[in-house]
């Protein structure tokens, strides 16, 4: 069966937002790596005055390469081709179908006027002739850090589900800006697929390079790109070793991780029945429905 427009080497837009949708900074970490590797430049941006509450998402002071201090305001922008990829080494560049036209939308989740915010960005995507959208998210979950971090892929578009072999999410509950973007995009005729990485909730305070790797791997699997990892593999091993060290000093944490490992291994075992896998997934969804992202701190909405 033919792929829907955009998912077979067409003009794709990868979307990631800081905040509720971004446990372990995994989604934005993956998006930023793509921006850097592709040398993307800003082609459209929202006016932050319309959508952001600066007492909630504050501007920051940064120091540039020239030593000058400047303000950076929260916002959202679509990045497109036009710059120079990072490095001169071909091995450091994203390759594969559609790599030369890949766009990235990255920003902070807005505080107000979500419908207008999403509509403005979808209009910009249409102006850039975007044919398909990949939404990246990350949620806190009962996931052991010692095992590969899973990525749940879903779509509301039946053609996308059939072509890419992904599911339709049955999640019900609070959502973040990714779900609003997806809804607006589908209404505008742009097919979407959502990818959600599971981040161990017991290490939610630190960025998770292992979850970044999981998202990038799923992007490669679905749309056929080859994405150089740079130092991510080393960073992920260091992250895992750091969590191992913490667990070694905390018997309760170590015992809990062992329980998570046993549960994960039972689901992943070749002899695991479809019913057992379904039960584990249903339990997972129920937990996210009780608390956004599966945790009381509200990081992550659960897969759309």
The reported pLDDT for the residue numbered 2 is 53
Residue 297 has pLDDT above 70, yes or no: no
The reported pLDDT for the residue numbered 270 is 64
Percent of the chain with pLDDT over 70: 83
Position with higher pLDDT, 282 vs 201: 201
> What 3 state SS string does the chain have?
CCCCCCCCCCCEEEEEEECCCEHHHHHHHHHHHHHHHHCCEEEEECCHHHHCCCCCCCCEEEECCCCCEEEECCCEEEEECCCCCCCCCHHHCCECCCHHHCEEEEEECCCCCHHHHHHHHHHHHHHCCCCEEEEEEEEEECCCCCCCCCEEEECCCHHHHHHHCCECCCCCCCCCHHHHHHHHHHHCCCCEEEEEEEEEHHHCCCCCHHHHHHHHHHHHHHHCCECCCCCHHHHHHHHHHHHHHHHHCCHHHHHHHHHHHHHHHHHHCCCCCHHHHHHHHHHHHHHHHHCHHHCCCCCCCCCC
| Of 47-61, 256-270, 286-300, the least confident | 286-300
Residue 272 has pLDDT above 80, yes or no: no
Percent of the chain with pLDDT over 90: 71
Model pTM score: 0.85
pLDDT tens, position by position, 41-65: 999 999 999 999 999 999 999 998 8
Q: Give the pLDDT band (50/70/90) at residue 226.
A: very high
The reported pLDDT for the residue numbered 303 is 58
Residue 118 has pLDDT above 60, yes or no: yes
Position with higher pLDDT, 264 vs 16: 16
pLDDT tens, position by position, 145-204: 999 999 999 999 999 999 999 999 998 899 999 999 999 999 999 999 999 999 999 987
The reported pLDDT for the residue numbered 82 is 82
Residue 213 has pLDDT above 80, yes or no: yes
Residue 104 has pLDDT above 60, yes or no: yes
The reported pLDDT for the residue numbered 284 is 55
What value does the mean pLDDT of the chain take? Answer: 87
Residue 292 has pLDDT above 50, yes or no: no
Domains of the chain and any CATH numbers: 12-294 (3.40.50.10900)
């Amino acid at each position: 069966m033919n792929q829907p427009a955009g998912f077979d080497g067409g003009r794709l837009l990868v979307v990631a937002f800081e905040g509720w949708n971004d446990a372990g900074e995994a989604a934005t970490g993956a998006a930023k790596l793509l921006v850097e590797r592709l040398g993307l430049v800003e082609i459209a941006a929202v006016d932050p005055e319309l959508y952001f509450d600066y007492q909630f998402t504050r501007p920051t002071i940064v120091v540039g390469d020239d030593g000058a201090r400047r303000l950076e305001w929260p916002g959202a922008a679509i990045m497109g081709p036009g710059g120079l990829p990072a490095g001169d080494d071909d091995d450091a560049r994203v390759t594969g179908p559609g790599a030369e036209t890949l766009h990235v939308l990255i920003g902070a989740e807005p505080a107000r006027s979500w419908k207008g915010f999403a509509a403005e960005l979808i209009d910009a995507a249409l102006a850039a002739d975007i044919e398909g959208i990949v939404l990246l998210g990350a949620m806190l979950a009962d996931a052991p850090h010692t095992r590969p971090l899973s990525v749940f892929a879903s779509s509301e578009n039946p053609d996308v589900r059939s072509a890419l072999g992904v599911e339709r999410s049955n999640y019900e509950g609070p959502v973040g800006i990714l779900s609003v973007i997806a809804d607006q995009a589908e209404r505008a005729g742009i097919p979407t697929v959502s990818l959600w990485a599971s981040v161990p909730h017991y290490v939610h305070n630190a960025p998770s390079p292992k979850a970044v790797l999981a998202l990038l791997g799923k992007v490669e699997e679905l749309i056929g790109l080859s994405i150089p990892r740079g130092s991510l593999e080393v960073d992920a091993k260091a992250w895992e070793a750091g969590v191992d060290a913490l667990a070694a000093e905390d018997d309760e944490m170590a015992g809990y991780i062992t329980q998570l490992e046993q549960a994960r291994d039972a689901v992943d075992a070749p002899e695991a029945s479809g019913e057992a896998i379904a039960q584990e997934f249903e339990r997972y969804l129920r937990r996210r429905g009780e608390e956004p992202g599966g945790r009381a701190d509200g990081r992550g909405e659960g897969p759309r």
